[in-house]
Amino acid sequence: MYTAQGKIDKSDTLAQYAPLVRRLALQLIAKLPASVELDDMIQAGMLGLLDAANRYQDDQGAQFETYASQRIRGAMLDELRANDWLSRGLRQSSRKVDAAVQALEQKLARPPSEREIAQSMQLSLQDYQHLLQEIHGSQLVYYEDCEGGSNENSFLDRQHDDGHRSGAGDPLQRLLDSGMRHMLVEAIALMPERERLLLSLYYEQELNLREIGAVLEVSQSRVCQLHSQAISRLRVRLNETSRSEIA
């Protein structure tokens, strides 16, 4: 893996860790709409791997695979953001669900049911559930929702920029080391039990949709719907918590 000069051999590294790139791409794409191409994610991931090989120093206290995984995921997410893979219509629909959830939570002082959200949006329950399925994967928790408006640099963007300038650490890890982790724990604790279980199966145990459906005894499409609704609740709660702390 290293050259005679003690540097990482890039050719060997790309070949050795190409399966890692593919595995990370498959994990990510499972949570995204069908319009996102696996080959695009792999290509972006390979660029992230190359960047990791260029930047890695063995005195950083992390194994190369751990360091490379962070860079690979970051490159894939940058690619998604750069190409704005989520259509404007779906993005607007996602925001409307968030707004309905937020309004009902304030009114009812509890998590609203699917039927209540559908009625608030003047949709039938079937149409609302179809919308949730369409926006599955579009609602990965957007850290920019936790502070500032759409015209401001997002919290995550500033962390990412600071990391590049200082060369210190991983932006995600700095987020988890901050109050964001506490905010997430509190927000998840307030969610309906079934949705908490779904998030645990999806993100902690990394089960796929079919496996989660078997645990919950529902179809894969129903898992998509429940996931979208759970993440919408989570985003609303994080946004409200962040605003209250700023105030």
What CATH number did the domain enclosing 31 receive? 1.10.1740.10
With 90 as the cut, is the pLDDT of residue 30 above it? no
Q: Of the residues 83, 110, 125, which one is the last residue of a structural domain?
A: 83
Q: Is residue 67 part of a domain?
A: yes
The average pLDDT across 20-24 equals 93
Q: Do 28 and 133 have their domain in common?
A: no
Phi then psi for residue 231, to 5 deg, are -70, -35
pTM, two decimals, is 0.57
Claim to verify: residue 47 and residue 109 sit in the same structural domain: no
Residues 74, 189: one domain? no
Could you say which of 35, 62, 83 is where a domain stops? 83
For the chain, percent helix, then strand, then coil, each to nearest 5? 70, 0, 30
- Give the up-direction half-sphere exposure of residue 38: CA atoms within 13 A in the CB hemisphere: 8
Q: Which residue has the higher pLDDT, 234 or 4?
A: 234
Q: State pLDDT tens for residues 120-166.
A: 999 999 999 999 988 876 544 443 443 344 444 444 443 344 444 44
Q: What is the structure's pLDDT at 86? A: 58
User: Within this chain, do residues 32 and 152 fall inside the same structural domain, yes or no?
Assistant: no
Contact, 9 vs 2, CB < 8 A?
yes
> Is 222 in the same domain as 208?
yes
Beta carbons within 10 angstroms of residue 199's beta carbon: 18
Please check whether residues 51 and 122 belong to one and the same domain. no
The per-residue pLDDT for 71 is: 92
Among 26, 57, 83, where does a domain finish? Answer: 83
Domain check: are 27 and 137 in the same one?
no
Residues 213 and 195 both lie in one domain: yes
Question: How far, in Å, CA of 23 to CA of 127, rounded?
Answer: 34
Residue 8 pLDDT exceeds 60 = no
Residue 186 is part of which domain span? 88-246
182/115 same-domain check: yes
